Amino acid sequence: MKKLPSNSIDLVATDPPYGISFMGKAWDRAIPSIAIWREALRVLKPGAFAFVMCIPRQDCLARMIISLEDAGFNVSFSPIFHAFASGFPKAGNVAKMVDKRLGAERKIVGIKPDPRYQHKFTGNASAPMGNVDPRRIREDHKFQTLPATPAAKALDGSYAGMQVKPAVEVVLCVMKPLSEKTY
């Protein structure tokens, strides 16, 4: 953006990192800095809008809004809520969660019979896997394991719907202020 002239862009539409370390990825450890948002503000024309995607978690929304406001954006507009039908609650294996929390390593006793898990995941899709995206399946998901702790053994086979997949994404609507109010 540094090479772009000031007041030259009509709209910024972006889906920046949310600061949640999505899937443990380093690129998503922090939201964009105020300096980045100031640069976006600089290149926008006065009165131009920026549409900034964000997840609906309150901590993430608050940090993103404050960062945009600190950069100089007018944040007094209502957001857009992008709802999509693919969200569904996911059940988590309680015994695996207990072992993970306790730092116990589970014993591998086999490979799941599901054909999706019979391949070495390299990050590339392959025809035998159907519509499964290998980037969304961790290598360790293919293994059948045994509970490692007494607590996990007591809960083996239990599932809980504590891992909710969101079905909405928030689009923050912010504006580069005008020198005089005309709206």
Tell me the DSSP string of the chain.
Answer: -TTSPTT-EEEEEE----SS-GGG-GGGSSPPPHHHHHHHHHHEEEEEEEEEEE-S-HHHHHHHHHHHHHHT-B--SPPEEEE-TT--EEEEEHHHHHHHHHTPPPEEEEE-SSGGGSS---S---GGGTT--GGGS-GGGGEEEE--SHHHHHTTT-EEEEEEPP-EEEEEEEEPPPSS---
Q: Is the pLDDT of residue 52 over 70?
A: yes
Question: Full-prediction pTM beyond 0.85?
Answer: no
3 falls within a domain:
no
Q: What is the CA radius of gyration of the chain?
A: 22
Rounded percentage of the chain residues whose pLDDT exceeds 90? 46
Token output for 48: 């131009």
Rounded percentage of the chain residues whose pLDDT exceeds 70? 73
Pairing of strands 44-54, 168-175: antiparallel
130 falls within a domain:
yes
The answer to whether the beta carbons of residues 177 and 46 sit under 8 Å apart is yes
**Distance (Å, whole) CA 103 – CA 74:** 46
50 falls within a domain:
yes
Compare 84 and 8 and report the one with higher pLDDT.
8
Compare 86 and 133 and report the one with higher pLDDT.
86
In the predicted model, what is the mean pLDDT of residues 14-28? 79
Do 117 and 77 fall within a single domain? no
> 34-47 pLDDT, tens per residue?
999 999 999 999 99
Do 78 and 16 fall within a single domain? yes
Q: What's the mean per-residue pLDDT of the chain?
A: 81
Within 9-106, strands assigned E span 9-14, 44-54, 80-83, 89-93
Compare 117 and 29 and report the one with higher pLDDT.
29
Q: Which pLDDT score, from 0 to 100, does residue 90 have?
A: 64
Q: Which pLDDT score, from 0 to 100, does residue 173 have?
A: 98
Q: Is the pLDDT of residue 60 over 70?
A: yes
Range of the domain at 65: 9-85+166-175
Do 41 and 79 fall within a single domain? yes
Question: What residues contact 16, with CB distance under 8 A and at least 6 apart?
Answer: 31, 32, 52, 53, 64
125 falls within a domain:
yes
> 119-166 pLDDT, tens per residue?
554 444 444 444 445 544 455 566 788 999 999 999 998 888 655 566
CATH number for position 69: 3.40.50.150
Please state the domain count of the chain. 2
Do 16 and 80 fall within a single domain? yes
Q: Which pLDDT score, from 0 to 100, does residue 26 have?
A: 76
Do 77 and 95 fall within a single domain? no
183 falls within a domain:
no
180 falls within a domain:
no
Q: Which pLDDT score, from 0 to 100, does residue 164 have?
A: 58
